[in-house]
Chains A and B, each alone.
Chain A
Amino acid sequence: MASGIKDKVVILGMGCSKFGERWESSPADLMVEAFEECLTDAGIERNQIEAAWFGAGIDAFNVGSSAMPMSIALRLNYIPVTKVENMCATGTEAFRGAVYAVASGACDIALALGVEKLKDTGYGGLPQRTRGVENDMYWPNLSAPGAFAQLASGYRAKHKVNGDDLKRAMAHVSVKSHANGAKNPKAHLQREITEEQAINAPYIAEPIGLFDCCGVSDGSACAIVTTPEIAKSLGKENLVAVKALQLAVSNGTESGHASWDGSYLKTTRIASQRAYDEAGIRRPKEEITMTEVHDCFSITELVTMEDLQLSGEGKGVKDVLDGAFDAEGSNPCQIDGGLKCFGHPIGASGLRMLYENYLQLQGRAGARQLSDPKLGLNHNLGGFPHQNICSISIVGPYGQVGSA
């Protein structure tokens, strides 16, 4: 019987580039920026890395296909490098590959890196691209905000929420993230906004307005992982361990079967419950200190709070407005500014979120540092509310916490 990933793998080091409109930087430049920080943090040499996983979401606008762009950019030592792509969960998927490799005993030290260069398209927002030959023939020509705006309509109908109240809660989500991001020198957007600005911004896809959308940026983040024993032998202290690593992928039920009403994210509910079980968490609201969730749009974060059981079903609007997920709240969310302020370079995001939880757990988060963090949760949602990939990872101090 498998026992899960809990405490089998620790993070040896991490790195994260400055996120933003990096007009001057190529994908290789961004990868090197994150990698150099990560190597220094890990205190190892490049040639000690035995295997690597490379995450990039949109080949056409990026580095090209296969694992070679990363191996070449980082001058890796002819090690096995695997390219992974799983929409917005790509960064976490790369991390999963590296963690599983170490946990299996196939290698001692593994690298996961994600990168995305979104700002070479010539326009704002995520690039317009094919959904696949067959889907293109009948799917609406939906943008990402168009897909997630439907979550708002579904949630509003299900819970009979007044549209103005929901819009105000959505605005609060963004105001909170901007306040956090203003304290983060690596964030793309580092200024605060007001609720009025958010509410009165032009619609992108009703009811999603400009400030309900995350930024669009270039960036890269990476992690080097190993076993707790090797980390200790290298003199590392305050080890941050992987407590859970889960993925749930839609199988067409939400999009085609009447059992899903469009008001929540089924995969998030499934993946998070599996992750809580794996990490031995019974009371998520009490045990999870901080979350980095996939706030591609403000409504996604609000609904995700319910799906992660950090808010009761239909209680998200009230909890958000009450400040439960603000920096001073009971379960701070996006303490680094989130996708909202970092933007969403698809392949990098999962690892960028992990980077914040890693810094927080090591007490290295500077002006954003939370007091005594225990468990940090990362959530990514790739695709659309009706068809998506959800990844959940939970990290915490090695061997110390978890109720099971």
Chain B
Amino acid sequence: MKGITAYGVYLPRLRLNRQAMVEANAWFDSSLKGLGKGERSICNWDEDTITMAVEAGIDCLSALQEKTLSGLNLASTTAPFVDRQNSVLVAEAMNLNSQIRTIDIGSSQRAATSALIAGLESARQGNEMMIASEHRRTKAGSRAEMLWGDGAAALTVGDEEVIAQCLAVATNAVDFVDHYRGEGSDFDYDWEERWIRDEGFMKIVPQAVSAVLESAGRVAAEIDHFILPTDQARTPAALAKKLGISPDAVVDNQIASVGVAGAAQPLIMLAKALESALPEQLILLLGFGQGCDAILFQTTDRIERCRPDRGFSGALNNRREETNYHKFLSFNNLVERDIGKRGEVDKQTFLSGFNRRKDLLTGFIGGKCRVCGTVQIPREKYCVNPECRALDSQDNFSFANQPGTVLTWTADRLTFDWSPPAYFGMVQFECGGKLMMDFTEVEEGTIDSGSRVSVHFRIRQFYAQRGFRKYFWKAVVES
């Protein structure tokens, strides 16, 4: 069987302080006070399952020497499009070639582990990427709102230069309905926590674990990293004890610092375990949802050499505290905010026009002039260089990984923005191109002419009346 060849992680920078959540909601449900520790990750208004997936995918690619992929799978229960393949949008934003196999997988909290099993068992050559990304909406003042977080992780699966070899896989497929989200519903509906623990985790997981250990000829006591994604804080340790797994092997679900990221949680936890794992260690990864997937890995001596640009700890540490609970409600469309008349203006995306400019809009592709060498964005018919003006002379040039500096900027308090003020300005890329861009994740007082920026795929606008959202690249000031 194949193994893991690289991993990457993305967590939104914003972390909502749980005490602020408690203060806003404990008047209604005083039991929330018991959950008021730490913080959770929250998507900024311009982040979603797609943008986080792109970030995680790019982070994963950074750890690979050979960056050509044979496939890209996107696992999520919160993909923004029901009928427009989300994975191919992610693939185009990552500038992957169009021969790649792309698949969306969802409908379950074990979507990612099921996709991973399929990838590990596949006979196809080359590295295949598995991305899991989740941005779940929750009812205000709910337990889920307190315990969950947003995030994404990516892995590549292949035959060569493996950092964690898959030893065995097993599945126990059971329609155990601990929760569900029906068609047309915005939110999950769940059943009693203690019942889920006793009749769900404690009965369904052991069968899958026994099967995978037996298949690999290993025993529970050998496991060095035990990953059970769940928002039940004590259940992983309880299960480890029941299964005979060392309590030291239990990988913390990071509820206190990130929150549980749904279908993305198994891969985020796996990336975290891989980051700290030593060679020749055993990692047991579980995915729980209408049954249980179990995957047993053994790390190789390459494990310590594989380091993505960001990884789990990089993502965890790239944080900014948010104490405004109402901002979180707004970002997730949980309150009907008065956005003003400027917010009402309809700038519909004309799909034919979008399609013509897709290389720019999704891939952030500009041009490089073959005649004079000038790099430019957007790519137009004539070269932008006043001394050149050659016709049809430009080759594709990706700006997606190009550093730049702020030439001009402002914080606009008049125009509509979901998180005012709207920061934007002219970015001069080191490679030579120049473009007026939105800035995102700006902390007041940290931006000026000369600030260094990197670029990131983000949401530009929502069209609630048509169920569409528009993406483009934005600049983020490097700290």
Contact = CB atoms under 8 A, between A and B. Distances in A.
Interface of A: 121-123, 125, 128-130, 133-134, 136-143, 145-146, 149-154, 156-157, 202-206, 208, 252-253, 255-259, 261-262, 385-386
A385 B450 CA distance: 19
Contact of A205 (B360, B411, B432): B411
Contact of B408 (A139, A141, A204, A262): A262
Given A130-B347, A137-B472, A157-B449, 19 more contacts: A123-B340, A129-B345, A137-B357, A138-B378, A138-B460, A140-B424, A140-B436, A141-B422, A141-B424, A146-B424, A149-B410, A153-B449, A154-B449, A157-B408, A157-B448, A204-B414, A205-B413, A255-B436, A258-B428
B407 interface: yes
B345 A128 contact: yes
B353 A134 contact: yes
Contact of B410 (A122, A136, A206): A206
Nearest to A144: B414
A122 B386 CA distance: 43
Given A137-B470, A257-B376, A205 B412 contact: yes
Contacts of B437: 140
A38 to B, nearest CB: 35
A146 B415 contact: yes
B462 interface: no
A237 B450 CA distance: 57
A149 B436 CA distance: 13
A193 B146 CA distance: 51
B159 interface: no
A128 B342 contact: yes
Interface in B77-93: none
A32 to B, nearest CB: 30
A154 B407 contact: yes
Contacts of A154: 407-408, 426, 449
A153 B409 CA distance: 6
A134 B354 CA distance: 8
- Majority-rule SS of A interface residues: loop
B438 interface: yes
Indicate the member of B341, B378, B412, B438 with the most A CB atoms within 10 Å.
B412
Contacts of B425: 150, 153
B349 interface: yes
Given A128-B416, A133-B350, A138-B460, A253 B386 contact: yes
The range of chain B's interface size is 35 or more
Contacts of A151: 408
Given A128-B416, A145-B412, A262 B353 contact: no
B407 A261 contact: yes
Contacts of A205: 410-414, 421
Nearest to B415: A143
A256 B470 contact: no
A138 B407 contact: no
Given A252-B380, A256-B433, A142 B424 contact: yes
A157 B450 contact: yes
> Which 9 residue pairs spanning A and B have beta carbons closest together?
A146-B412, A140-B424, A149-B410, A157-B449, A150-B408, A143-B415, A262-B408, A143-B414, A154-B408
Contacts of B207: none
Nearest to A259: B386
Nearest to A202: B413
Contacts of A121: 341
A145 B411 CA distance: 10
A301 B449 CA distance: 21
Nearest to B416: A141
A122 B342 CA distance: 10
A134 B357 contact: yes
B428 A386 contact: no
Interface in B427-471: 428, 432-438, 448-450, 460-461, 470
Contacts of B448: 153, 157
10 contacts: A123-B341, A128-B416, A137-B460, A138-B460, A141-B424, A145-B410, A157-B408, A252-B384, A255-B436, A257-B434
A62 B349 CA distance: 25
B385 interface: yes
Contacts of B470: 137
A153 B408 contact: yes
B173 to A, nearest CB: 44
B6 interface: no
B83 to A, nearest CB: 22
A205 to B, nearest CB: 4
B441 to A, nearest CB: 15
B413 A256 contact: no
Nearest to A163: B448
B145 interface: no
B377 interface: yes
Nearest to A125: B414
A256 B426 contact: no
A153 B422 CA distance: 15
Given A122-B341, A128-B341, A204-B414, A140 B354 contact: no
A259 B357 CA distance: 25
A138 B360 contact: yes
Contacts of A252: 380, 384
A261 B434 CA distance: 10
B411 to A, nearest CB: 5
A137 B422 contact: no
A339 to B, nearest CB: 17
A138 B341 contact: no
Nearest to A153: B408
Interface string B400-420: 000000011111111111000
